[in-house]
Amino acid sequence: MDFEWVAIALGDVAWISLAFFLGFMARTIGLPPLVGFLATGFLLNTLGIASGEMLQKLADLGITLLLFTVGLKLNLKVLIRPQVWAVTVLHISIIIALFGTVIFGLALMGVSLFSGLDLKTSLMIAFALSFSSTVFVVKSLEEKGEMKSLHGRIAIGILVMQDLAAVIFLAASMGKLPSIWALLLFLLIPLRPLFHHLLQKTGHGELLILYGLVLALGGAELFELGGVKDDLGALVMGVLISTHTKSTEMAKAMLGFKDLFLVGFFLSIGMSGQLSLETLIIGLLLVPFVFIKSALFFALMTRLKLRARTSLLATLNLSNYSEFGLIVAAIGVMNGWLSADWLVVIAIALSFSFVIAAPLNDFDDRIYSQFRSIWMRFQRKQRLADDSLLDMHGSTIAIFGMGRVGGGAYEKLHELYGATVVGIDFDAERVKSHQSEGHNILHGDPSDADFWDKVEQDHSIKLVMLALPNLQANLDALQQLRRISFSGKIAAIARFVDEEPLLRNSGATAVFNIYTEAGAGFAEHVQGQLNIE
């Protein structure tokens, strides 16, 4: 038996146990667990403990699977929207010019760690600070079930464009061009029908997960062999199968694996360099600059005809620094352009930007609702077709969330009450699919204060059914219903027993546990079909 591997494993288990404890403490005080994971890395680094092999492998796998799942959920049509590519290009350019000038000015003044930086390295640091965190934003959107909302799709699109910019920088800075064999990677496009066929045949169990791992890791390896950044390969493989009907199921099946491996990534960030008072102070001083990034995002989005709410929610998602900033800084350190202290500075700024961004994203709808008069001053009169308010058309029953549960409820109620039933969902593709079948389905967001104000002014809704993807989404909708003093009945679904009292206390007239009710519905269906007396 190899006792060296036993020692490595025991050491990594100790780190992961500490990560669990601090992650649990972070969740207890209302912060995302990843803040606790980052704190674990800094603590271990302070104690002089180096990263283990297993931890580094977890970190690498986490990033690869993250980009793969982003690709699974990415709609390429989003990237070609000016609200994505134009905002990204303008934002990166302005931030580099602005932050780079400030950093170079501090270097000329001989301020501490900045002294010795030339214009090139100053601009490189500014470039590293221009990114927003793919890890943070994806996890935040997933937890709130908003990956396919308009603001979620805009934020993800901007992140992908930023990631592509980072990949281009990495290739250029390493002085390494893709090999001639990289041209063969274009053959993956005509192979997409084969990938789709295999996905259809994998079923719904462990083969689905294994196939996802094969695609993610295999794509990364192929791109690495071609001299292209390996993580881009995982992203591309996800995009290639994103149009298949089972892509969402695969993303959900791999969610646990991705989250587990990302623990290693967050731990490795905190262990990336030696912490000192100087690096801590400079890292903290960089944190407020994230609000300059936020203001610029909001201004650019509203100028490009997005609603104030859509712009604000996308902006709050992007109000942080990025793990790609660490990667850019690491390249600078490797090439001798930067001192290793800058890795620690950016890691500190990244960590504390997460601490700020977490509560902002938790209360994003409240921030918009309470200060709506301010945000509305920036909204243009002309808006995009898919970012306008909807009309209920005299409906009396509204079903929010047109997934399997909401879709089934719509079918049944439409049989009973006809056109007075309306379905609402923020997934534009899902809405189009239902509308193509002649269903009365509208595109809208139930946590949107503007939408509810429209409903309050002119509606005949007597029953609202909340079949949204998670508890928080249902609670947000209930909060909006309370705000407009909705007098009708409200039914909401719950997935766990402990969710039921939370929904009732928030104003739900009736709460249905979908697993319990599924069993009762099954028994009722069998009794009717088999004529059991």
Task: Find the CATH number of the domain harbouring 282.
Answer: 1.20.1530.20
Q: What per-residue confidence (pLDDT) applies to 3?
A: 40
Shared domain check, 415 and 347 = no
Tell me if 383 is assigned to some domain. Answer: no
Tell me if 242 is assigned to some domain. Answer: yes
Q: Above 50 in pLDDT, residue 383?
A: yes
What pTM value is reported for the model? 0.73
Shared domain check, 400 and 372 = no
DSSP state of 315: H
DSSP state of 381: S
Distance CA 35, CA 16 (A): 14
> pLDDT tens-digit profile of 165-198?
876 776 676 556 667 777 788 888 888 899 898 8
Average pLDDT for residues 120-129, to the nearest whole number? Answer: 92
Q: pLDDT tier at 296 (50, 70, 90 boundaries)?
A: very high
Q: Above 70 in pLDDT, residue 520?
A: no
Which one is predicted more confidently, 119 or 8? 119
Q: What per-residue confidence (pLDDT) applies to 289?
A: 93
Distance CA 351, CA 266 (A): 9
Final residue of a structural domain among 376, 401, 432 = 376
> pLDDT tens-digit profile of 406-423?
888 888 888 888 888 888
Q: Above 70 in pLDDT, residue 521?
A: no
Final residue of a structural domain among 376, 400, 421 = 376
Q: How far is CA 226 from the centre of its chain?
A: 29
User: What is the b/e burial string over 352-367, where b = at least 16 CB atoms within 10 angstroms of the residue's CB?
Assistant: bbbbbbbebbbebbeb
CB 368 within 8 A of CB 445: no
Average pLDDT for residues 433-456, to the nearest whole number? Answer: 76
> pLDDT tens-digit profile of 40-84?
887 877 777 666 666 777 777 887 887 788 788 766 777 788 888
Shared domain check, 281 and 232 = yes
Nearest Cα neighbor of 233 from 268, 186, 271 is: 186
Q: What per-residue confidence (pLDDT) applies to 5?
A: 45
Average pLDDT for residues 29-33, to the nearest whole number? Answer: 74
Shared domain check, 149 and 170 = yes
Tell me if 341 is assigned to some domain. Answer: yes
Q: What per-residue confidence (pLDDT) applies to 9?
A: 47
Q: Above 60 in pLDDT, residue 11?
A: no
Tell me if 511 is assigned to some domain. Answer: yes
Q: What per-residue confidence (pLDDT) applies to 1?
A: 41
Instruction: Give Cβ neighbours of residue 429 (< 8 Å, ≥ 6 apart).
Output: 75, 148
> pLDDT tens-digit profile of 357-372?
888 888 888 898 888 8
Q: Above 60 in pLDDT, residue 318?
A: yes
Nearest Cα neighbor of 390 from 448, 435, 468, 429 is: 448
Stated length of the chain: 533
Shared domain check, 393 and 368 = no
C-alpha angle 395-401-405 in degrees, rounded to nearest 5: 105
Tell me if 384 is assigned to some domain. Answer: no
> pLDDT tens-digit profile of 449-491?
777 666 655 567 888 899 887 888 888 888 888 877 788 899 9
Shared domain check, 316 and 268 = yes
Tell me if 381 is assigned to some domain. Answer: no
Shared domain check, 283 and 156 = yes
Average pLDDT for residues 216-239, to the nearest whole number? Answer: 83
Q: What per-residue confidence (pLDDT) applies to 456?
A: 53
Q: pLDDT tier at 7 (50, 70, 90 boundaries)?
A: very low
Q: Above 90 in pLDDT, residue 342?
A: no
Q: What per-residue confidence (pLDDT) applies to 288?
A: 93
Shared domain check, 132 and 34 = yes
Per the structure, the complete domain to which residue 405 belongs is given by: 389-530
Q: What per-residue confidence (pLDDT) applies to 499?
A: 87
Shared domain check, 402 and 262 = no
Which one is predicted more confidently, 132 or 485? 132
Strand partners, 441: 423
Tell me if 205 is assigned to some domain. Answer: yes
Shared domain check, 319 and 229 = yes
Shared domain check, 321 and 400 = no
Alpha helix positions (H), 290-403: 290-303, 308-317, 323-334, 341-362, 364-370, 372-376
Residue 38, number of CB atoms within 10 A of its CB:
28
Final residue of a structural domain among 352, 376, 400 = 376
User: How many domains does the structure of the chain reveal?
Assistant: 2
Tell me if 85 is assigned to some domain. Answer: yes
Q: What per-residue confidence (pLDDT) applies to 6?
A: 40
Average pLDDT for residues 496-517, to the nearest whole number? Answer: 85
Segment (H or E) for 126: helix 119-129
> How far apart, in Å, are the Cα atoms of 488 and each of 52, 223, 233, 507?
58, 56, 51, 11
Shared domain check, 400 and 295 = no
